[in-house]
Structure 1
Amino acid sequence: MKLGRFLTTLGIGALVGMLLAPKKGSELREELKGKGKETLDSAKEMTVEDYQKLISETIDSIKKTVDEFDVDDFKDSSLAKLNELKDKFDDVVTKLQDSDQYSKLKDQVDNVIV
């Protein structure tokens, strides 16, 4: 596992665990302060090479994601989902217009307008 992901996951897990634990506010703040200090200390122990490696891995991961992104595929899948949503919306509108409540409401609105 990459060091950055590990540290991030570890930090998030610790934070969620602390926030969900039944503690007084002062105890929670003290524990958060301690965990923050531990994280800072571990970050201080990382060497320049560790940071460079982490940054390089992150950049490589971003580049790979961008390179693998297929705009045409995204457009096609988005269009298909939009069309599916439109069809469902049209179906709901049709069912609504066919309902008795719609007719009554429409008649009431027409009476108010006239």
Structure 2
Amino acid sequence: MVNVYDHAHSLARALKESHEYRSFVAAREKIKGKASAEKMIEDFHKRQLELQAQVLQGKELTQEQKEGLERLYSVLSQDVDIRDYLMAEQRLGTLLNDVYKIISDAVDVELPRAK
């Protein structure tokens, strides 16, 4: 019999050894302790979550809201360390989403979809 937990631990180890995770950790270390960078990233994430919540509630984002988030990202991207962090975070998120999709497809579980 297969021990699913053993495989989950193996997957966790593989994720920790992945390029995406190691890049994320390295980028996170570069901004760690830089209060202004940490605050800007926190504000950006907060804004992203607010807009995602709005979409999940079935509300359509206005062009102004979309452009506002793009402008905020553009400003943040001027700082190389912040840009590298956000890019590494996105790549790691993609990897984790892909793994989740593979697992959910294998057990025939549908993922909730944003409208």
Rg (Cα) greater in structure: 1
Structures share fold, TM-score greater than 0.5: no
Structure with greater proportional helix content: 1
Using structure 2 for the length normalisation, give the TM-score: 0.29
Using structure 1 for the length normalisation, give the TM-score: 0.29
Which structure ranks higher in relative contact order (CA pairs < 8 Å, sequence separation ≥ 6)? 2
